[in-house]
Chains A and B, each alone.
Chain A
Amino acid sequence: MNKKILIVEDDVHISKIIKMNLNLMNYATTEAYDGLAAFEMLKREKFDLILLDVMIPHLDGFELMERIKSYGTPVIFLTAKNSVYDKVNGLKLGADDYMVKPFEAIELLARIETVLRRYGHEDRVVEFQHVQVDLDKREVVIQEAPVELTPKEYELLVVLLKNKNIALTREQFLDKVWGGDYYGETRTVDMHIKSLRKKLGLQDQIKTIYKIGYRLED
């Protein structure tokens, strides 16, 4: 079942771009443009996560946070403010994470995933067409036959799956799979992608995007 995420953001454009990105990852989204509307929605419906802008009309993010504390829904704050006071205030109120605008989509998706995992809302078995990945056992299965992957290949596959339909640059892959302090060549990424395509039969699905990098498309 798709996870339901409530986007509380007064700027229509920002709300929409967040929604578009989340939809790519098969999250179900609902939009609220002010605090009171969000509060009403939360009273009626249960969400797996709330993305909450701080500066919203009628009821600001902090106030809304106070009111919905008892619901136990995880919250990620979105804000333009970069002050330590606001961060501390947000986290003290029980927010699970904090994102300062402007933010990158993949960063937001990663934080959402982390928070969902912490709450045990994350699917531990991910399916992509004929490929099944068990995140707990670190196992990749195609038609009930396990596939042997090197650790880096496995992690690269997970990154592709988690950013489905979004192109990532080779640098982003290096950063996410090999770690920020790895100064390898981007060719390493190409080698692993090539090997993944072959082992999993995903030649068409893992697309090379000109001047950017790779994208997993369904």
Chain B
Amino acid sequence: MKFWQKIYLFSILVFVIIFNIASILVIERSHNKMLGQAINVALSQNISIHSSVDAIVPILRIYDSIDYEKTVLTRIANEFVDKNSEQGVYMDITDDSQRTVFNNSDFPMPAARSELDNLDEDSIHSILREIDARTILFTSNITDINHKKYVFTYMKDVTSVYQDRIDQYSFFAKVDLAACLLFMVIMFFVSRGLTRSIDRLNRTAKVIAQGDFSERVTLKSRDEIGILGSNFNEMAEVVEDKINELERNNEEKQRFINNFTHELKTPLTSIIGYANFLRTTKYNEELFVDGLNVIYSEGKRLESLSLKLMDLILLQKEQIQMELQDLGEIITEIKPALEIMAKEKNAAIALDCEKGELPLERDLIKVLIFNLVDNALKASSPEQTITLRAYWQGGNYILAVIDQGIGIGQEDQDKIFEPFFMADKSRTRRSNGAGLGLAICQNVAGIHGAVIRVNSVVQQGTTVEVVFGSNPVAESELRP
């Protein structure tokens, strides 16, 4: 059963039960009150008859005649009955020998009258009786007149009180029906209205479940369902972000794999192609030397690619042990190696390093420096100088690799950190590059909590700065 139907049925059930019980209680109470009033009236009438009889008892005592007593009593009774003739009031007076002195009832008196048992002079007994579809209230008392006990029974027709109750019930039945119908109609809309937002939430959840993660629910209410809705939206937001992130990661990985296959297959195609050409065609000295040169240089390119990949794998190491070391000292230590690299290109290396104790991973830092110097050398012409400066600036320790080379075009500056990106493909290829250098550097810097900023002017040179700092500066600020 649907939730709105549950609300609907349950509230109707509760309403019907409570409304009916309450109404019945009200009707019954007012009926009992009316009946009580009728009884009280009857009792007071009885008492007033009693007292008027008492008033004439001394006179009767003077005469002491049964006939006279009966006449007087009959007259009193008649007077009383006349006075209340329209109100269904009856009198019955019997003497102690059970003979009727007066009776004006228009119904047969009941044979057994239990109220007369144990009746004494000081009390009035009353009882309700159903006679001929009428309800009659009997009130009886005993009056002693000249040592004779007369039973006075005052009777009142209280059928109207009961009739009232029936009328009220029938009126109530109509009201009950109307109220229930009205309630059902109102409740239908109320319960639908209350659950509409749940329905909406439900539909949205379904749409999201089908893969449309950008779907959101719009609930204006500020109640619990409204809060649930906004929490739901928050959740959907997080899920969407996560999925987008995963997709981005996936795309990045796919791009890496595509680039990697390209970088791997290009030299392989050349090597296989030339080797096969040389072994299957007629010997030609010029082609032979050319071919072998290509095979050699492409082989070197593969070697450099595999070394770079080893560096990348090194970076994936789960635990990297950082130790407090002097970066300036590491640079000085690898200077001879850097100079050998520079000699091939006929370039010079200049050092200007302050002492800088930092938590470092020695091998990774060497990889970083080698890559930066390698990049600088690739951009440089012979006789130019590559400068390595390391200095403190405002709580940050900065390692700068400065060249006077060809520089990087403005349009390429934000792409240079992408794996396999090469600003100048043919030049990079010629120097056995794979386009992984800066990607590796950025990884190393990231591990050390450092950021890399690049400042380059075409044909004037490039300055690459690695900023180590206790208070890391936001990356966006640093990258132009």
Tell me whether A81 and B262 are in contact in the complex, defined as CB-CB below 8 angstroms, given that A101-B268, A217-B282 are known contacts: yes
Q: How large is the interface on A (under 10, 10 to 19, 20 to 34, 35 or more residues)?
A: 20 to 34
In the complex, identify which listed stretch (A6-14, A63-71, A112-120) lies at the interface while the others stay far away: A6-14
Find the B residue at minimum CB distance from A102: B269
B270 touches A (CB below 8 Å):
yes
Q: How far is the CA of A79 from the CA of B125 in the complex (A)?
A: 119
> Told that A81-B262, A83-B258, A105-B276 touch, could you supply 13 new A-B pairs with CB distance under 8 A?
A11-B266, A11-B269, A13-B274, A17-B273, A20-B287, A80-B261, A80-B266, A81-B258, A82-B261, A165-B281, A167-B279, A167-B280, A167-B281
Interface residues of A in 24-55 (CB under 8 A from B): 24, 55
- Please name 30 pairs of A and B residues whose Cβ atoms are closer than 8 Å in the assembled complex, sorted by A: A10-B425, A11-B270, A13-B274, A13-B294, A14-B273, A17-B273, A17-B274, A17-B294, A20-B277, A20-B287, A21-B273, A55-B262, A57-B425, A80-B261, A80-B262, A80-B266, A80-B269, A83-B258, A101-B265, A102-B265, A102-B268, A102-B271, A103-B269, A105-B277, A166-B280, A167-B279, A209-B280, A212-B279, A215-B282, A217-B282
Q: How far is the CA of A104 from the CA of B264 in the complex (A)?
A: 16
Q: Identify which of B266, B268, B271, B277 contacts A21 (C-beta below 8 A).
A: B277
Q: How far is the CA of A209 from the CA of B258 in the complex (A)?
A: 39
The interface residues of chain A lying within 8 Å CB-to-CB of B264 are 80
Q: How many residues of B contact A (CB 8 A)?
A: 25
B267 to chain A, nearest CB (A): 8
Find the B residue at minimum CB distance from A168: B280
Is the pair A212, B277 in contact by a Cβ cutoff of 8 Å? no
Tell me whether A13 and B276 are in contact in the complex, defined as CB-CB below 8 angstroms, given that A80-B261, A165-B282 are known contacts: no
Rank and list the top 5 A-B pairs by shortest CB-CB distance, nearest first.
A17-B273, A80-B265, A167-B280, A102-B269, A13-B270
B272 touches A (CB below 8 Å):
yes
Q: How far is the CA of A83 from the CA of B277 in the complex (A)?
A: 28
A18 touches B (CB below 8 Å):
yes
The interface residues of chain B lying within 8 Å CB-to-CB of A209 are 280
B221 touches A (CB below 8 Å):
no
B18 to chain A, nearest CB (A): 69
Is the pair A11, B429 in contact by a Cβ cutoff of 8 Å? yes
The interface residues of chain A lying within 8 Å CB-to-CB of B282 are 165, 215, 217
Find the B residue at minimum CB distance from A211: B279
A95 to chain B, nearest CB (A): 18
Q: How far is the CA of A120 from the CA of B159 in the complex (A)?
A: 120
Find the B residue at minimum CB distance from A163: B280
B120-134 interface bits toward A, Cβ cutoff 8 Å, 1 = contact, 0 = none:
000000000000000
Chain B interface (Cβ within 8 Å of chain A)?
Answer: 258, 261-262, 264-266, 268-274, 276-277, 279-282, 287, 294, 298, 425-426, 429
Q: How far is the CA of A82 from the CA of B426 in the complex (A)?
A: 24
Find the B residue at minimum CB distance from A83: B258
Q: How far is the CA of A144 from the CA of B201 in the complex (A)?
A: 88
The interface residues of chain A lying within 8 Å CB-to-CB of B274 are 13, 17
Interface of B, secondary structure class, is helix
The interface residues of chain A lying within 8 Å CB-to-CB of B269 are 11, 14, 17, 80, 101-103
Q: How far is the CA of A12 from the CA of B294 in the complex (A)?
A: 10
Find the A residue at minimum CB distance from B261: A80
A201-218 interface bits toward B, Cβ cutoff 8 Å, 1 = contact, 0 = none:
000000001001001010
Q: How far is the CA of A102 from the CA of B276 in the complex (A)?
A: 12
The interface residues of chain A lying within 8 Å CB-to-CB of B268 are 101-102
Interface residues of A in 67-92 (CB under 8 A from B): 80-83
The interface residues of chain B lying within 8 Å CB-to-CB of A16 are 294
Find the B residue at minimum CB distance from A99: B269
A109 to chain B, nearest CB (A): 11
Tell me whether A105 and B266 are in contact in the complex, defined as CB-CB below 8 angstroms, given that A14-B273, A20-B287, A81-B258 are known contacts: no
Q: How far is the CA of A104 from the CA of B276 in the complex (A)?
A: 8
The interface residues of chain B lying within 8 Å CB-to-CB of A13 are 270, 273-274, 294, 298
A167-182 interface bits toward B, Cβ cutoff 8 Å, 1 = contact, 0 = none:
1100000000000000
Is the pair A101, B266 in contact by a Cβ cutoff of 8 Å? yes
Q: How far is the CA of A70 from the CA of B276 in the complex (A)?
A: 36
A149 to chain B, nearest CB (A): 25
The interface residues of chain A lying within 8 Å CB-to-CB of B287 are 20
Is the pair A81, B261 in contact by a Cβ cutoff of 8 Å? yes
B403 to chain A, nearest CB (A): 24
Q: How far is the CA of A80 from the CA of B272 in the complex (A)?
A: 14
B229 to chain A, nearest CB (A): 39
Is the pair A215, B280 in contact by a Cβ cutoff of 8 Å? yes
Q: How far is the CA of A102 from the CA of B265 in the complex (A)?
A: 6
Q: How far is the CA of A217 from the CA of B284 in the complex (A)?
A: 14
A212 to chain B, nearest CB (A): 6
Q: How far is the CA of A17 from the CA of B271 in the complex (A)?
A: 10
The interface residues of chain B lying within 8 Å CB-to-CB of A103 are 269
Find the A residue at minimum CB distance from B274: A17
Is the pair B277, A17 in contact by a Cβ cutoff of 8 Å? yes
Is the pair A105, B258 in contact by a Cβ cutoff of 8 Å? no
Q: How far is the CA of A67 from the CA of B271 in the complex (A)?
A: 32
B411 to chain A, nearest CB (A): 13
Find the B residue at minimum CB distance from A82: B261
The interface residues of chain B lying within 8 Å CB-to-CB of A212 are 279-280
B224 to chain A, nearest CB (A): 48
Find the B residue at minimum CB distance from A11: B266
The interface residues of chain A lying within 8 Å CB-to-CB of B272 are 102, 104
Listed residue (B265, B272, B274) with the most chain A CB atoms within 10 angstroms of its CB: B265
B242 to chain A, nearest CB (A): 25
The interface residues of chain B lying within 8 Å CB-to-CB of A11 are 266, 269-270, 429
Q: How far is the CA of A215 from the CA of B272 in the complex (A)?
A: 19
Q: How far is the CA of A83 from the CA of B281 in the complex (A)?
A: 33
Q: How far is the CA of A80 from the CA of B273 in the complex (A)?
A: 14
Listed residue (B258, B269, B277, B425) with the most chain A CB atoms within 10 angstroms of its CB: B269
Q: How far is the CA of A166 from the CA of B280 in the complex (A)?
A: 5
Is the pair B273, A105 in contact by a Cβ cutoff of 8 Å? yes
